[in-house]
Amino acid sequence: MLKQRTLKSLIKATGVGLHSGAKVTLVLRPAAPGTGIVFHRVDLVPPVELRADPFGVGDTRMASCLERDGVKVGTVEHLMSALAGLGIDNLHIDVDAAEIPIMDGSAAPFVFLLQSAGIEEQNAPKKFLRVKKPVEVREGDKWARLEPHDGFRLSFSIVFSHPAVDQTGSEVTIDFAENSYVHEVARARTFGFTQDVEALREQGLALGGSLDNAIVMDEYRVLNADGLRYADEFVKHKVLDAVGDLYLAGAPLLAAFSAHKSGHAMNNRLLRALLADASAWEFVSFEDDARTPEGIAHLYPQAV
């Protein structure tokens, strides 16, 4: 039986918010089977609970932000991506600010935290959201699509017309039945351009951004002294973001996702379009190992 997962123990971390620049403390706590991923704004009295839910996503400028009754938890996508990549179904996330800390701009620090706490399988079947027919959203030359697939595969292409981006891979396909999330996706960092910084900060965004938590480029080159972590780090970060955005569905997807120039807003529109069509999806579990498709059985690393 493919089982639900949570953490073996509580773990804590601190960092800064990418957009707020404020110090943030994060506590990840085990949760019972069937709980799902639940964020708690513990700096408020009483604390406010925000569940991972595509219909709870509000602001999508440069990040995915959950909102409820005027209360926000922003930049959730990198942590959600790590949870998806390690197959964590149930977790309480306590945060004392309006934003999840950016850490190094990738999902790797969150993977480290989760693995350090230990991953525990629970005596309940994992629930998947299986896509039954194609669903697509478009906006100009941008598009995103979900199609039926016995596993989880993502294909992404980007266009930035920038020398530093154009000389790297602009297309990638990651099939998690064959590719390792931890080794091939999790370390890809967010990126930005120096010429955009002033405009973003006038909007109250990127106040905590630096070379320590993003790939930064001027008009011609990458400014980070250590260069890139992957030859195709830019497009892989877009895959990392999409994994996190799609995990806001509330269950892991069984689907093939493909996109061109998509971002947080379009990823969320795609999820909403999927869930709005009851004939396009269903919940499934695999309690009989012999009947579990091979691509699904190999989706997740061993619990540790």
Residue 25 is part of a domain; what is its CATH number? Answer: 3.30.230.20
Residue 58 burial (C-beta neighbours within 10 Å; 0-12, 13-18, 19+): middle
Residues 211 and 244 in one domain: yes
Residues 14 and 54 in one domain: yes
| pLDDT tens by residue, 191-201 | 888 877 667 66
Residues 142 and 290 in one domain: yes
Higher pLDDT, 296 or 119: 119
Q: Give me the active site residues, please.
A: 264
**Taking residues 155-177, what's their average pLDDT?**
91
What is the structure's pLDDT at 161?
A: 84
Beta carbons of 215 and 224 less than 8 angstroms apart: yes
Residues 146 and 258 in one domain: yes
Strand partners, 93: 28, 39
Residues 120 and 94 in one domain: yes
Say if 60 falls within a structural domain. Answer: yes
The CATH number of the domain holding residue 264 is 3.30.1700.10
Residues 111 and 53 in one domain: yes
**Tokens 């995103």 belong to residue:** 144
Beta carbons of 127 and 250 less than 8 angstroms apart: no
| pLDDT of 20 above 80 | no
Residues 36 and 114 in one domain: yes
126, 149, 184: which is the final residue of a domain? 126
| pLDDT of 304 above 70 | no
Closest-CA residue to 298 (of 260, 259, 262, 254) = 254
| pLDDT tens by residue, 22-61 | 899 999 999 999 999 999 999 999 999 999 999 999 988 8
pTM to 2 decimal places? 0.94
**Taking residues 48-76, what's their average pLDDT?**
94
| Structural domain span for residue 245 | 128-298
What is the structure's pLDDT at 48?
A: 97
What is the structure's pLDDT at 122?
A: 97
* CA pair distance 186, 192, nearest whole angstrom: 18
| pLDDT of 142 above 70 | yes
Average pLDDT, the chain: 92
Residues 209 and 108 in one domain: no
State the DSSP H helix or E strand holding residue 48, giving kind and residue range, or none if neither.
Answer: strand 48-51
Q: 3-class DSSP state for residue 163?
A: helix
Question: What sign has the CA pseudo-torsion 179, 180, 181, 187?
Answer: negative
Q: 3-class DSSP state for residue 143?
A: strand
Say if 214 falls within a structural domain. Answer: yes
Residues 82 and 151 in one domain: no
Residues 56 and 156 in one domain: no
- Number of domains composing the chain: 2
Beta carbons of 284 and 130 less than 8 angstroms apart: yes
Q: What's the token pair of residue 224?
A: 């980070």
| pLDDT of 135 above 80 | yes
| pLDDT of 219 above 60 | yes
Q: 3-class DSSP state for residue 115?
A: helix
93, 110, 126: which is the final residue of a domain? 126
Say if 304 falls within a structural domain. Answer: no
Length of the chain: 304
Where residue 163 falls among pLDDT bands split at 50, 70, 90?
Answer: confident
What is the structure's pLDDT at 198?
A: 65
Residues 113 and 168 in one domain: no
Query: Would the annotation count 237 as a binding residue?
Result: yes
100, 126, 152: which is the final residue of a domain? 126
Query: Would the annotation count 104 as a binding residue?
Result: no
| pLDDT of 64 above 90 | yes
Residues 90 and 176 in one domain: no
What is the structure's pLDDT at 205?
A: 62
Say if 303 falls within a structural domain. Answer: no
| pLDDT of 236 above 90 | yes
Report percent pLDDT > 70 for the chain: 95
